Amino acid sequence: MAKPKVLFLCTGNSARSQMAEGILRALAGEHFDVFSAGTEPKGGILPEVQEALREIGVDTNLQWSKSVMEYMGKVNFGYVVTVCSDAEENCPAVFLNMGTHEHWPFDDPAKFAGDVESRLRSTRVVRDQIEERLRLWLAELNIKPHDYRQM
């Protein structure tokens, strides 16, 4: 049986959707094929996001910033989750009408100001909020997540 496909969407595909992709894969990757994309991809993952994920044992080496258009007409998603209001408003309707659509807005690490350490601290907060929301969602689906964190 094929695993349901999950798409996390944001604007730049450089932070929130990347965190959701990596964390869901770590929590329950055997249950889903996990993807992320942006309506206006930035071309890379923010260094603070890579560090925040690395700290908890999530490897981003196989993730990259990509456009939602790469999936247009090619992939049918069982779940589409927008993680920012801009993606919710600007995503092609075909994706929002596909499968189960949810909107989980989070603060944007790409907009955090300050020095590297303060941006990293704020990114960790968003990372943990995303993980908490994913754990709630998995509980709704009766899926027991892995205890993957490496401290």
| Domain parsing of the chain, residue ranges | 5-140
Q: Which two tokens stand for residue 105?
A: 């807005």
Per annotation, catalytic residue among 9, 10, 28, 134: 10
Q: Rounded to whole angstroms, how far apart are CA atoms 80 and 88?
A: 10
> Catalytic: 84?
yes
What pLDDT, in 10s, does the model give residues 105-114?
999 999 999 9
> Which segments of 65-104 are extended strands (E)?
79-82, 100-103
The pLDDT of residue 91 is above 60 = yes
| Mean of pLDDT values over 53-77 | 91
What pLDDT does 51 receive?
Answer: 96
Give whole-number Cα distances, 4 to 29, 30, 90, 118, 135, in Å.
Answer: 11, 10, 24, 37, 17
Per annotation, catalytic residue among 23, 52, 84, 87: 84
What pLDDT does 137 receive?
Answer: 98
What pLDDT does 151 receive?
Answer: 47
The pLDDT of residue 136 is above 80 = yes
What pLDDT, in 10s, does the model give residues 42-62?
889 999 999 999 999 998 888
Assigned superfamily of 5-140: Response regulator (3.40.50.2300)
Q: Rounded to whole angstroms, how far apart are CA atoms 48 and 15?
A: 9
> Catalytic: 118?
no
